[in-house]
Structure 1
Amino acid sequence: MCPKPKIRPRRRGVRIAVWSLVTVLVVAAGLAGVVLWQNSYDMDERRVTIRHGGHTLNGVLATPRDGRKQHGLVVYIHGDGPIDATHDDGYKPMWEANARAGYASLSWDKPGVAGAPGDWLDQSMDDRADEAAAAIAWARARPDIDGDRIGLWGASQAGWVMPKVAARTPVSFVVAVSPAINWLRQGRYNLLAELRADGASAARTKAEVTRSDTTRRLLERHASFEEYVKAMGGDADGMTADRWGFISKNYTADATRDLRALRGVPVLLTLAAHDVNVDTADTERGYRKALDAGGALKVEHYPGATHSLLKQSIERSDLKLTLTALLSPRSLFADGFLDDQRQFLEELGRGGPAAP
């Protein structure tokens, strides 16, 4: 007679599988909880609509939860590219820092982004300044915003926009993040910095500089996109007709004279040590020459930061960037960056060194 088969090993295997599944689910739930907690911010957000010249700006207003009836306001001016109101939630750690200082934050989708009407590639820097001035006028009409405490925050390309805004309407302060002074100088600096980072040969560097010089000459004579493609031997290298039109509108941008509108206005200039987009030494010279006499300029340098003021050690790895954005988004930024902006706003409120 054959012995009856033993079933204990099978039961043991089922128990192990069940407990493994339970462990995985518990860990997954824990991670999901961490993600939700880390991406929850101590502020209230609401969608708002701003009318501007027959157009609509789709915005987000983030306000502190401190029970006050009125708050100062930080108006966000985007850098280059198709950016939505929250910059894919990248602005939120900064908005939270503003809220802790008693300031609300206002930002909007660029035209043509996230369903917003229009096309941001049709805009000049003056168009962008008009847009921001309209947003400030809208904010000043709100009972929950202190119209005497409205300032600007802007990154990169916003460096050409914010001084123009200040020339159109009074602003109480400016936070300038990695701004450039001159469009063409910035473009050449960026080209050479990226070639160095790639370890480009002398021959490749010479070819790229020649291509850049050709592009400049085409812009100076207002060449069409078709002429550009022909001059490049049929290789547009990612350039589109819309992008060519945008560059043609804005390649003469230079903040040197426009910065005079910020004299006497408290300005926090934040610069990164590993910025391949903007020549930070050129930017600091320009800002100091224009604004130091008024005594309202404060400059902060961040040794481990990139152009976007993220930690270089994180930005260079897609995996680290994704995991940090999910599990600890405030840690994306260079050490001290968020605290410095919060303290700058707090000093304004106390009438300290940053105050006008």
Structure 2
Amino acid sequence: MKSNRLYTWTDVQNEIYMELSMGTWPDGLTEVRVFWDGLNILAKSGHEEDVVKWLDKIFGSRFKKYQDNILIILEQHKEKSRHLEVIIETEDEEDMEDDSDESYFRPLIARPIVIRPQYFRNEPPDISDVHPPIFAFHSFKGGVARTVHAMAFALLAAAESEKILLVDADMEAPGITWMLGQRKPKLDISFADMLALIHGEPEDEMDETLELIQYRVRNICLDNMFVMPAFRPSARLVSLEIRPEHLIKYSDNPYIITEMLGELGKKLEVDAVIVDLRAGFSEISAGLLLDPRVHRIFVTTLSDQSLTGTCHEIEYIGKLAGSSKGYMPKPSVILSMIPHLQDRQGWKKVDNIR
């Protein structure tokens, strides 16, 4: 087989993961584990041939079967060929057990080690009647005025007598935090503190922890807004010991970030929670971006890098965590810093975002 495309074991993992997200797994397939040196599959007894046909359909000419050996051909260099050996094991359905913490979807970018069909079947419950709405501002790249738009949205709502909780969740370049420090030198609580307090907290003590957080946040109020900085002043340049993905990965509730922010907003009696996320598609922002209950607002300019990246990002998020139910708001896009468009080419860029 000749191909100029680099193809590694992570490409195999991605192909299988996306097939799962689209619901195209064969009924007899129950588990897949992809490693650098092999592809291990667990199937129900009697469904081995269905799994083989499915692999053949996905990988096409890269799929090779030699008697009892099944291979996925990877990248090649000169005469040397690399491949993944496929091992299919079977088990009677009544003997199968599912006690893995990775059986169900978690809003993370990292792929689970064990991929199972039920991974995408735990849609989060409707919380629209319980918590105030959460608006998460995100951008594929920095420098597109995402933070400016998040603050403008918050200030406009506050000016119309709406009570707002504004959260700086940009843990690498916390613009709101730096601006806030000019007016409030003493900051009593931060988003980083919230993560640390919630991490490892027993469920029956979570309400008491949120009471502590909301008590501190009430001391940071500006222009009818409560503001939670990313860090306290003394901790701006230290490492982030507890990151959002730590909570998501190890909590019994994979949507803990969304629901704790919602519960905090409820305790503060605000009308909305507005969050400024870190630019780039990373685990720092994934918890909210991959929760379809969040109002996800993407900010982009018309530069090719920003616009193309935003389109790919929205498409990817749509496959993993699309707005499939009525209580799940559709994503929004803000086109920022638009120049005067004098030709049709410029307007075509605007149409592409649709």
TM-score by length of 2: 0.24
Q: Rg larger in 1 or in 2?
A: 1
Structure of higher RCO (CA pairs closer than 8 Å, 6+ residues apart) = 2
From the two aligned structures, give the one with the greater helix fraction: 1
TM-score by length of 1: 0.24
